[in-house]
Amino acid sequence: MSERPAGSPAGAGQPTFARDLGLFDATMIGVGAMIGAGIFVLTGIAAGESGPASILAFALNGAVTLLTAFAYAELAAAIPEAGGGYAFVRKAFPGAIGFTAGWMLWFAYTVACSLYALGFAGYFWEFFIKYMPGFADGAFGVVGEHGAGLIVTFVIGASFVRINMRGTEVTGMAENVLTVAKLIILSVFIAYGLKAVGAVPVAETAAAFNPFFPQGFGGVIVAMGLTFIAFEGYDLIATVAEEIKEPEKNIPKATFISLAITMVFYLLILFVSLAAVRPPDGGPAWQFLGDYGETAVVRAAEGFMPAFGVAVIVFGGLLSTMSALNATVLASSRVAFSMARDGLLPGPVATIHPERRTPHIAIAVTGVILLVMALTLPIEAVGSAASLIFLLTFAMVNLSLIVLRRKMPDLPRRYRVPLYPFVPILGIVLNVFLAVYQFTFQPLAWYVTAGWVAIGLVLYYGYFRGQAVQDGRAVLEKPVPAGLAKDDSVVVPLHNPDHVGTLLDYARPIAEARGHSLVAYTVVEVPRQLPVNQGERFMDQRAGLLEAARGHAAAGGFALQTDTVIAHHASDGILAGATRYRGDCLVMGWKGYTDTRDRIMGEVADDVIRHAPCDLALLKVGRPGRPRRCLFPTAGGMHARLAAEMLNVLAPAFGMEVTTCYVVPPGASEDERRQADRWMGKTLESLEVDMDVERLVIEAKSVAAGIVEASQDYDLVVLGAAREPYLQQVVFGEIPEKVARSSPASVLVVKRYEGPVRGWLKSMFG
């Protein structure tokens, strides 16, 4: 197995892929998936719905999908993991939302596989019906027309499942050959079409596009919804990001090159189909193409290509469906693999073949599902649902970009979305609009999607969620050492050796005021594929932290108990320790923002904040030394009251001066200033420190910016956890996080334990 590059998001020791795909291979995966049977099938349908404006419909779809392509390029280059859109959403929204994204994408890609396998069978028999009718009639006579189609579907589907099992190098080679051949054939079609257009007067060609909107602009919107599936494909590059060489450079390039090639071919095919066709009845070309629908391109080829034209187009259809099938089998199996690696599908699905370096079980499972769907289900209905799922997933990926910019600010991003955040916000709006609009002409797609999501959520809450915790994020259960935490305690998980003394200095007065013992512990993480008890081998690596903690306690003359927790994931170990030692308050170091590359206090902080079974105090260590001046912003609420309770203890322990403050907008009115004074008065009622507390009114455009500016003259800022609505947190970030990231002072953010009932209601209803 290959070594995972430094900074990779996956856990150490996890199974990984060989990086066998270069820029050309990645580009061909995107082109091969996008220029599939869709362009052959959808050209006539789009022309029938919107006339010559079908060119505009395709161009607008290209612009809409470009917005999401920006997001895929940045995220896939920065987080080159198998799974693509699922991996991004999962990092931004752990839990049910991340699972649902993967569950939907796996379904959508597998449906696309089934569609391409069936499409290949259709073009296969179309060739024999046209050029060898005797053979076709004989086959239909033996097994029937439907049976003959299913046989070819099974053979081609099984063949590409087998090819994918042999390795990404073989898969990429097959994709390159198929896609290049397909582009050559389509270039021949376009060349003959342009030749036919050039042979007639310009006025005659222009007449084919007049009127440009025969069905009105509403027809363009309908055509966009029907043809958007043709632009799904560049996202497949992201699903195999773990197998692409130099992903930070090659993924953005491959994404935009594949989209540009596809757009050029789509628009040229539409142009020549509309401009070069001369219907026998003299009617408009768009109406002629619309009447023939799925076979419109074949009919167009008959009009301006030599006798072999139909054979060329049919052969192009065969190549298109094969290359698209190959690419989507590759992508769907990687989504399944990534979900299994996260514990959200059965563990064996995440197995990698030791020699071929492919997720052979994930490919086999995906292959079985795609063949069953292709051979048994009404594929038109689920195919429409797949198109809808891609729209919804693209919207989620754009939202994930915004969230991950906030959660992972220091993640190396060789490529960054331009005009952020307007591009991803516009991508969200347009993708959701097209998804909602699809209900007006294809409501069944929404029903199928809702049903599939409902099934997934039942499985997630009934099995997969517990399985992920049990198998992928276990904690080693061992007896609590004698005399350790028999009663309630203040617990301090330790990770950074530089902050051991500081954390204990903050935790000690809290424990003394509450009359609790003080417990420090450290978490030993074990790779998920190893039994959790194997972590006992690594305990010596963390012994230095506990030794430093005991030395600090001895020097300070206070009692301290220490222990070690072994877990598959740091947050589970921290939470288990808080429960194990009857934690009444948890004091934890914090970097000031979430960052999944920091495996102990990055992504981990989110889980601890969400699930802590006690009061929580997160400390970002800023200026060195004991704090002497403290700034206490407040806007009320139970978390702010807990902050005041802690200041009642910490201020005398450190000998701190305390200033309470409130932020008002620039040029605030007298009423706003009186309101600020009332809030600070309520704060003073909660403070019991035996000293004068100053009041400070801060004028600033934003609360966070005002606090950060004022904190320049202080050593410590104490904040209650944010009470902002969920959507505001996602898009604009929480005030405590902004303050912690930007303030040079230490920042202590506290959160009162809400209890299981209140916490459950809040998680369900916000």
How far apart are the C-alpha atoms of 343 and 349, rounded to whole Å?
Answer: 10
Q: Residue 334 is encoded by which pair of tokens? A: 């990687």
Closest by CA position to 572, among listed 68, 11, 89, 92: 11
The pLDDT averaged over each successive group of 10 residues in the chain (766 residues) is 36 46 80 72 77 88 88 83 76 81 84 78 77 80 78 80 68 72 86 85 81 83 76 75 76 87 89 82 76 71 76 79 77 80 77 72 82 72 74 89 80 83 91 83 81 88 63 53 68 90 93 91 75 68 87 92 84 85 89 49 69 88 87 79 88 90 87 85 72 84 88 90 47 66 89 61 38
What's the per-residue H, E or C state across 303-330?
Answer: HHCCCCHHHHHHHHHHHHHHHHHHHHHH
State the burial class of residue 324 (Cβ atoms within 10 Å of its Cβ: 0-12, 13-18, 19+): buried
- The answer to whether residues 69 and 285 touch, using CB atoms and an 8 Å cutoff, is no
- The answer to whether residues 322 and 160 touch, using CB atoms and an 8 Å cutoff, is yes
Output the pTM of the full model. Answer: 0.61
672 three-class SS: helix
Residue 719 β-bridge partners: 749
Q: Where are the domains of the chain?
A: 23-466, 474-608, 622-766
How far apart are the C-alpha atoms of 501 and 555, rounded to whole Å?
Answer: 10
CB atoms within 10 A of CB 211: 12
**400 secondary structure, DSSP code:** H
Chain centre to alpha carbon of residue 504: 37
How far apart are the C-alpha atoms of 215 and 377, rounded to whole Å?
Answer: 34
Q: How far is CA 749 from CA 37, 489, 710, 730, in A?
A: 55, 20, 17, 19
List, edge to edge, every strand of the sheet that includes 517-525.
561-567, 517-525, 489-494, 583-589, 615-620, 746-751, 716-720, 629-633, 657-664, 694-699
605 sits in the region (left: phi over 0; alpha: psi -120 to 50; else beta) called: alpha
Architecture in CATH for domain 622-766: 3-Layer(aba) Sandwich (3.40)
- The answer to whether residues 583 and 613 touch, using CB atoms and an 8 Å cutoff, is yes
Per DSSP (E only), the strands in 269-397 are: none
CB atoms within 10 A of CB 727: 10
Residue 485 CB partners (closer than 8 Å, separation 6+): 517, 519, 561, 580, 581, 582
Task: Judge whether 23-466 and 474-608 match in fold.
Answer: no
Domain 23-466, CATH homologous superfamily name and number? Amino acid/polyamine transporter I (1.20.1740.10)
How far apart are the C-alpha atoms of 125 and 265, rounded to whole Å?
Answer: 26
State in Å, rounded, how far the first CA of the chain is from the last one: 44
> How long a stretch of residues is the chain?
766
CATH topology of domain 474-608: Rossmann fold (3.40.50)
How far apart are the C-alpha atoms of 749 and 615, rounded to whole Å?
Answer: 11
